[in-house]
């Protein structure tokens, strides 16, 4: 059964969100329970376990970002969705690994989409993902869809995926620090690639990806890169998904 928590000190807004989520769950014939809280302190005091949390940021008695930080000390995995009028908080929301970010005023369809994405994420729970801030909000990328990250013109970092290129609002070092080092490798200061999609090394210091893109390889990293690539090849032959 889905156990959804909604926390907002605006009683009217709290009721609206609860009703929209109730309508969605009933329409999808989901077994569910919704717990409503008027303050983050009450949410934190609850001893219940939640499937997903919808959380306001600016509340009179508590700050949603600080509440989320405390939640993360107890539960690193529960999805947190912010519903707020304060769009400037998106970067701080990312730091506590927010699942999504909805700005007020919103339409029922906005919450429907979040629930659809959440349920899809449950189906893909065995697949690794990374959540990153973009111009379109916080986006969850599947690791298997990522070819590489590149620090490009005008000091911007782009993630290149099977669906194209997306600008991300995070620096490359922070991104690399949270990636699986068995799967991803930083070939140069401006490039982090998915070893799974390397086709070959050309002219010693040029990497050809399986999508045809050409990426740089620092001379001092060549030997380590070849070892990493060999490990991926061996594990693939063994049938291990890395």
**Is the confidence at residue 131, as pLDDT, over 80?**
yes
DSSP type of residue 127: S
pLDDT in tens, 43-81: 999 988 899 999 998 887 788 888 988 988 888 778 899
Question: What is the distance between the alpha carbons of residues 29 and 215, in angstroms, rounded to a whole number?
Answer: 48
Per DSSP, helices labelled H in 75-165 are 90-95, 108-123
The helix or strand, by DSSP H or E, that contains position 174, with its residue range, turns out to be: helix 172-177
pLDDT of residue 154: 76
What is this structure's pTM?
Answer: 0.54
Structural domains present in the chain: 2-126 (3.40.50.2300), 137-238 (2.40.50.1020)
How far is C-alpha 136 from the geometric centre of its chain's CA atoms? 13
Torsional sign, CA 228, 229, 231, 236: positive
68: left (phi over 0), alpha (psi -120 to 50) or beta: alpha
More confident site: 98 or 69: 69
For residue 64, the tally of other CB atoms under 10 A from its CB is 28
pLDDT in tens, 2-42: 999 999 999 999 999 999 999 999 999 999 999 999 999 99
């Amino acid at each position: 059964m889905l156990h959804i928590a909604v926390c907002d000190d605006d009683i009217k807004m709290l009721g609206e969100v609860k009703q929209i989520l109730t309508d969605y769950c009933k329409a999808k014939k989901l077994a569910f329970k919704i717990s409503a809280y008027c303050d983050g302190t009450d949410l934190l005091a609850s001893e219940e376990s939640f499937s997903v949390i919808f959380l306001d940021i600016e509340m009179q008695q508590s700050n949603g970002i600080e509440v989320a930080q405390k939640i993360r000390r107890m539960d690193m995995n529960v999805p947190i969705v912010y519903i707020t009028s304060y769009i400037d908080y998106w970067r701080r929301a990312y730091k506590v690994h927010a699942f999504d970010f909805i700005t007020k005023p919103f339409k029922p369809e906005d919450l429907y989409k979040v629930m659809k994405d959440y349920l899809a994420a449950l189906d893909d729970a065995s697949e690794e993902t990374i959540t990153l801030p973009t111009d379109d909000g916080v986006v969850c990328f599947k690791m298997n869809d990522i070819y590489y990250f590149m620090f490009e013109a005008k000091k911007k970092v782009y993630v290149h995926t099977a669906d194209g290129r997306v600008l991300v609002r995070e620096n490359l070092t922070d991104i690399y620090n949270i990636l699986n080092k068995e799967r991803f490798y930083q070939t140069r200061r401006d490039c982090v690639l998915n070893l799974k999609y390397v086709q070959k090394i050309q002219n010693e210091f040029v990497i050809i990806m399986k999508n045809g893109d050409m990426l740089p390889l620092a001379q001092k990293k060549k030997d380590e890169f070849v070892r990493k690539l060999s490990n991926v090849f061996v594990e693939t032959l063994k049938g291990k998904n890395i």
